[in-house]
Chains A and B, each alone.
Chain A
C-alpha cells in the first residue's frame, strides 16, 4: 500500500473522483496551473484541463456563490478556500445559501458542494493563517462538517463527501499536511461520514479530539502510559453530525472525559460535546468534563505555541479530572 501524507491523500481523492465523475470540478484561488498554495490540486489542471480545474478571481464569496450555481445546474463542485481564515467573505453564501438551499426550496434544490479548506495553527501564520472556525459551521443547520486527522481518513472521507448530496465543509489540518504520513489504499474506498474512530483504547479517561489535535492526544497518551495512566483517544473525524454513540460508549466505559480542540474555548465545539454527554450519561460520570482548548484571544503570531493546546496541558487537565 502506498504511503502518503495528507496533501497527497487529498489530491488522490480528488483525482480518483474526477476520473470517475465528469461532473466534479475544482475551483478556487491558485488551484489551476500552480496546484494550490499547499499543492493539494497539483497535477489536476494538466490531467483534467482548465474547464474542470478552475482558477477563479480572488473573491471567496464568488467562489462559493459560483460553486452553488454550478451545483444547482448539475455539476459537483469542490471549491477550495485557500485558508480557513479567509472563509468569512463567503460566510453568507455558506450559511444562508449553500446550507439552506435544500430546506428553503422544500427539497427542490439539493446543493452538493464540498468546500475544502486548511485550518489550524502552528505554522507561524499569525491570526490570518491559523484559525479553527469549525464551531461557526457546526452551528449552521444544513451543513456537514468533516475534520480528518490523517491521510487514510482524509482520502476516505473526502471521497465519501464528494459522493453524497449534502453540502460539506471539509477542514484539513494544515500543520500536519506533510508531517502526518500513513498507508493509503490506491483507488477508491469510502469512510462513513458521522463515524468517530477510537484511535487508542484506554480505561481511565476519554479524550475527545479531532483534526490536528489527535496527534497531540496520542502523544499525551503515550507519555501517560509510562505513568500508569490509560487514556482512550477518540478521533471524532466528523463534527456534524458527530458520532454520539461512539462518544457515549467510550465515556460510559471510562467515566471521565476531557475535550481537546484548538479553537477558542468559549462556545467552542467542546461545550456542545460536554452538554450532549451530560444530557445522556450523567450517571456514568465520575468527574466533571473539562476542556483543553485554544484561548479566547485572537490567534497570536510570536506566542502561538503558548496559545495552542499541547500534550502537557492535556495531561495536566487529565490529571485534574482523575483526581477530582
Chain B
C-alpha cells in the first residue's frame, strides 16, 4: 500500500524540504510566532518520546503519541485566548500552545494529587478551563456538536469568539460528525472543523471510512467550504485556519479543514501497527516530517541554528525531568476526592457511600496507597 499522493486540490506552501513552493502565497506570520511554534512543536515531540518511554518502562499506564502530525496541532495558533478549542486526544501541541504547562501535562499522565482533573481520567484526557480547552472524551466525535453549541452560544451572546474542534478521519464516520456539521451549516455557527486525516483509525485505513473523494468533500453536503491542506506544512495550516477564522468572525459560518497527515506510529501504547500495515508506509511519511519541514524553512530564513535548537531541546527535557522528579513526591488524590464533583453539592446517597468507604480498614490504614 503506497502512501496517498499529494493531489492538486491540496493547499501547500512548503515542499517536503521546507522550501516555499513556486507561486505559493506565504501567510503573514511573525518571526516570533514561527519561533514559538517551532519551540512548542519541539516540546510536543520531546514530551511524546519521554512519555512513551515511561509507558514502555511500565511507569505509565497508557500513552498516545502524535509524532508526524504536530503541524496540525497549530491550527489553534491564530486563535485568540477567548476562542474555544474542543480537542480530540492527539493534539498535545494545541495544549502547550495555549499555555498548558509541562507540570500539568505530566501530572495528568500520572493521575496524581496535582492532576488538574484529579485523577478522574486516563492519560491524555486533559481539561483546562482557564485556557478554554475543553475536557477530552474517549468516545470519538462527541465533541463535534458540543463545539458547534459553544460557537452558536458566542453568536447568541453577541460575542465574536469562535470554536475549533479536532477529530480524526475515522470520526467522520460517526453520527455526531454529521449532526455537528449539519447544525453548524444550518446555523452558520462560527465553528472550524479540523479533521486530522492521519490515514489510520487504529487498524482501519482511510479508504474503509469513506467512499467520498476526500474528507473535505463532505463539506458540500453541509453548505460550507471544505479545504484540503497538507497537514504537515505549518505555513499552509496557518494560511487555511486564518481564512477560516476570518470567515467565522465575519459571520460567514463554519469551515471544514481536512489536514492530510499520517500517523507515523501506533494509535496508542496498546497498538502494534506491524500487524496491519506495510512498514514502508511510515518511512515515506517520515520524509515529510512537519518538524523537519519547519526547521528547513526557518534555516532558509536564517531563523534557525543548531545551538538554538539544542537550547530548546535541553530546556524542555529539563522541564520534563523536573516535573517527573516532582511526581515521585506526589501521591494519588485523596480517596475522599473521588466523591466530589459528581454534583455541585454532594447528595445523601453519595455522602453515605463516601462514609462507608472511608470507614473500611483499607482506607483507614495510614499506609494506604493505590
Partner of B134, one of A62, A93, A109, A241: A109
Q: Of B144-152, B198-206, B238-246, B287-295, which binds chain A? A: B144-152
- Contact, CB under 8 Å: B150 / A165: no
Give the chain B neighbours of A288 by CB distance below 8 A: none
Q: Which of A30-38, A69-77, A116-124 contacts B (4 or more CB under 8 A)?
A: A69-77
B183 at the interface (CB under 8 A from A): yes
> How far, in Å, is A281 (CB) from chain B's closest CB?
15
A-B contact pairs, 9 of them (CB 8 A): A65-B146, A70-B152, A72-B146, A72-B150, A75-B156, A96-B142, A109-B134, A141-B342, A142-B342
Q: Are A69 and B342 in contact (CB under 8 A)?
A: no
Which of A52-60, A127-135, A146-154, A223-231 makes up part of the contact surface? A52-60
- Judging by beta carbons under 8 Å apart, are B127 and A69 in contact? no
Bound CA span A106–B116, Å: 6
User: 3 shortest A-B CB distances, which residue pairs?
Assistant: A69-B149, A65-B145, A66-B149
Determine the distance from Cα of A114 to Cα of B121 in the docked complex, in whole angstroms. Answer: 25
Q: Are B154 and A73 in contact, with the CB atoms below 8 A? A: yes
Asked if residues B150 and A69 are in contact (CB atoms below 8 Å), the reply is yes
- Interface-forming stretch among A97-105, A181-189, A300-308? A97-105
Binding site for A on B (CB under 8 A): 84, 86, 115-118, 120-121, 125, 127-129, 134-135, 137, 139, 142, 144-154, 156-157, 161, 163, 175-176, 179-180, 182-183, 186, 340-344, 347-349
The reply on A203 being an interface residue by CB < 8 A is no
**CA–CA, A108 to B118, complex, Å?**
10
Among A106, A144, A164, A166, the residue within 8 A (CB) of B118 is A106
For the complex formed, measure the closest distance between the CB of B98 and the CB atoms of chain A, giving whole angstroms.
14
Which residue of B116, B137, B148 is within 8 Å of A69 (Cβ)? B148
Are the CB atoms of B349 and A65 closer together than 8 Å?
Answer: no
Q: Find the B residue at minimum CB distance from A144.
A: B343
Check A65–B135 contact: CB distance below 8 A.
no
Tell me if A61 is interfacial: C-beta within 8 Å of chain B: yes
Interface size on A, residues (CB 8 A): 47
If A61-B175, A62-B145 touch, whether A108 touches B154 (CB-CB below 8 Å) is: no
Query: Is A176 an interface position by the 8 A CB rule?
Result: no
State the Cβ distance, B300 to closest chain A Cβ, in Å. Answer: 42
A65 x B179 contact (CB < 8 A) = yes
Inside 8 A of A101's CB, which chain B residues have their CB? 135
Interface membership of A298, Cβ < 8 A: no
CA distance A107 to B139 in the complex (A): 20
Is A201 interfacial (CB-CB < 8 Å)? no
A69→B147 contact, CB < 8 A? yes
CA of A108 to CA of B347, assembled, Å: 19
Q: Give Cα A106 to B149, complex, Å.
A: 22
How many angstroms between the C-alpha atoms of A110 and B340 in the bound complex? 12
Q: A21 at the A/B interface (Cβ < 8 Å)?
A: no
Residues from chain A with a CB closer than 8 A to the CB of B156 are 25, 51-52, 70, 75
Q: In the complex, which residues of chain A have a beta carbon less than 8 angstroms from the beta carbon of B343?
A: 102, 142, 144, 166
- By the criterion CB–CB under 8 Å, are B183 and A57 in contact? yes
Q: Is A194 an interface residue (CB 8 A)?
A: yes
From the candidates A59, A75, A108, A109, name the one contacting B179 in the complex (CB within 8 A). A59
- Whether the pair B127, A65 counts as a contact (CB closer than 8 A) is no
